[in-house]
């Protein structure tokens, strides 16, 4: 059994300690979280540390063009947009018009709406439009939408990338269900297929890490495009 502090698993307390120290919240981030709750959006935003991780990745890679698949209320978008250089831009794809409306309001409140282009509709319809319009290649692509379509999102990420592009796929542990090879659940099938594609794709150097923290058992896959 995991150790507990004040009734919580030890890893959650450690996560909060790291977050308070290295990814402290502020007025704009808190406002976004409160707005998302008020609008009754699903409570599936990235954690503060995960948001800071995306921010650090953008700064490490000096990314200027970022693609996010899955906006929700824009919490992760705020973290990434803050890391961009002066002329940097995030294009974020969101299926739900109401979620996009909340995200735009949150980004406006954070003073970042001029750095973000939110496009509403099924991502698998928006991605071909992006490709045809020459919006890519992107420097960093964050995939955090419906998991059943992760294999398709990965294929499009490759089309919209260049050598050196970083691809991040969120929520790959599925609370441990990723181990269920015979599962027929769409999110498990999609997640496993995406990971298998990353492993087999010669254009990618990829790794997957499980994490524990305020969101429980989670994880992400990280890859860089080699050519």
User: Residue 7: pLDDT above 60?
Assistant: no
pLDDT tier at 3, thresholds 50, 70, 90: low
Please check the confidence at residue 6 and state whether its pLDDT lies above 60: no
Over residues 192-220, the pLDDT tens digits come to 999 999 999 999 999 999 999 988 899 99
- Burial classification of residue 202, based on how many CB atoms lie within 10 Å of its CB (0-12 exposed, 13-18 middle, 19 or more buried): exposed
Within 13 Å and on the Cβ side, how many CA atoms surround 107? Answer: 28
Q: How many structural domains compose the chain?
A: 1
Contacts of 161 (CB under 8 A, 6+ apart): 136, 137, 138, 141, 167, 225
Give φ, ψ of 46 to 5 degrees: -65, 155
> Tell me, what CATH number does 108's domain have?
3.40.50.150
Q: What angle do CA 98, 190, 133 make, to 5 degrees?
A: 60
Parent domain of 56: 4-225
Q: What is the pLDDT of residues 104-163, one digit of tens each?
A: 999 999 999 999 999 999 999 999 999 999 999 999 999 999 999 999 999 999 999 999
Query: What's the start-to-end Cα distance of the chain, in Å?
Result: 45
What pLDDT, on a 0 to 100 scale, did the predictor assign at position 9?
A: 84
Q: Given this model, what pLDDT does residue 2 score?
A: 53
pLDDT of residue 8: 67
pLDDT bin (cut points 50, 70, 90) of residue 4 is low
- Segment 47-81, tens digit of pLDDT: 999 999 999 999 999 999 999 999 999 999 999 99
- pLDDT given at position 41: 95
Mean pLDDT computed over 21-34: 95
- Closest to 153 in 3D by CA, of 181, 124, 132: 124
What is the pTM assigned to this prediction?
0.94
Confidence check: pLDDT of 5 > 60: no
CA distance 59 to 81: 11
Average pLDDT of the chain to the nearest whole number: 95
Tell me the pLDDT band of 1, cut-offs 50, 70 and 90: very low
What DSSP assignment string belongs to 97-112? HHHHHHHHHHHHHTT-
């Amino acid at each position: 059994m995991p150790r507990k502090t004040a009734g919580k698993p030890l890893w959650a307390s450690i996560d909060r300690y790291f977050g308070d120290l290295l990814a402290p919240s502020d007025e704009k981030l808190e406002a976004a979280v409160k707005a998302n709750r008020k609008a009754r959006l699903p409570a599936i935003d990235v954690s503060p540390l995960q948001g800071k991780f995306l921010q650090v990745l953008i700064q490490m890679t000096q990314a200027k063009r970022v693609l996010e698949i899955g906006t929700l209320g824009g919490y992760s978008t705020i973290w990434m947009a803050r890391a961009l250089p002066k002329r940097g831009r995030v294009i974020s794809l969101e299926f739900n018009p109401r979620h996009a409306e909340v995200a735009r309001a949150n980004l406006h409140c954070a003073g970042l709406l001029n750095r973000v282009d939110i496009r509403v509709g099924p991502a698998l319809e928006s991605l071909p439009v992006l490709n045809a319009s020459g919006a890519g290649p992107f420097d960093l692509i964050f995939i955090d939408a419906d998991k059943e379509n992760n294999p398709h999102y990965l294929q499009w990420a490759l089309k919209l990338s260049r050598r050196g592009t970083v691809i991040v796929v969120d929520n790959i542990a599925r609370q441990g269900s990723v181990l269920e090879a015979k599962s027929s659940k769409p999110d498990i099938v999609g997640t496993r297929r995406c990971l298998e594609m990353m492993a087999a794709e010669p254009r990618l150097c990829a790794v997957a890490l499980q994490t524990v923290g305020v969101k429980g058992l989670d994880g992400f896959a990280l890859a860089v495009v080699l050519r």
